[in-house]
Amino acid sequence: MVICLLVLTNYFANAQFTSVMVAVDGLTCSACSYATQKSLFELDFVADVQMDLNTHIATVTFKTDKKISIDKIAQKVIDAGFSVGSLNAVFNFKEVTVSNDYCLTYEGDVYRFISTKEKTLSGSSSIKFIGEKFMRKKDFKKWKGQMSGTCSSKDSINSTSKIYFVTPA
């Protein structure tokens, strides 16, 4: 039933995850890349992980019947002993107009756009995740001050929602 609901919600959603690209920092050996890839595979919502052994960018694709957690992806990289240099997700948008403080609700999680000029996203678009776990320390310093304020639309947000800060990549 839950699976059914998830599938249905995703089907009717105005945006849908297709993949996540994680730049893994601190990697230089193939055994380390292998460990990180294996670690990401442990997540039940992950369908596939492709690791570029030279750029150390992991492309993670998802199962359609499971709830996706971007937080867990970052945590797996950290648990493997490395750090996330950057994390970008590819969403399939259906004519969504985003602007500063626009909040997109997807699978119960909230994706709040910051530092965003008003524009309409359609088709495959990449969004960048902002947060201590999702980027290099020096990059995070630049964003830290912007992670305040509230969503411009609050209707679909409940107290259990996980809030992610994002910006069009």
Region binding another protein by CB under 8 A among candidate stretches 52-60, 91-99, 121-129, 157-165: 52-60
Out of 13, 73, 74, 80, name the contact with another protein by CB under 8 A.
80
80: nearest Cα among 130, 52, 131, 42 = 42
Least Å distance between CB 95 and another protein? 36
* Of the residues 26, 59, 114, 157, which one makes contact with another protein according to CB under 8 A: 26
Residue nearer to another protein on the CB measure, 82 or 113: 82
Phi, psi of 120 (to 5 degrees): -100, 125
Q: How far is the CB of 144 from another protein (least distance, A)?
A: 18
Q: For 84-109, give one letter per residue: b (16+ CB within 10 A) or e.
A: bbbbbbbbebeebebeeebbbbbbeb
CA dist., res. 163 & res. 108, Å (int): 10
Give yes or no for residue 79 binding another protein (CB under 8 A).
yes
89 with 127: CB under 8 angstroms?
yes
Q: Which of 3, 7, 53, 163 binds another protein (CB under 8 A)?
A: 53
The two three-digit tokens of residue 103, written as one number: 């909040």
Q: Which residues bind another protein (CB under 8 A)?
A: 23, 25-31, 33-36, 38-39, 42, 53-54, 56, 78-83, 85, 136-137
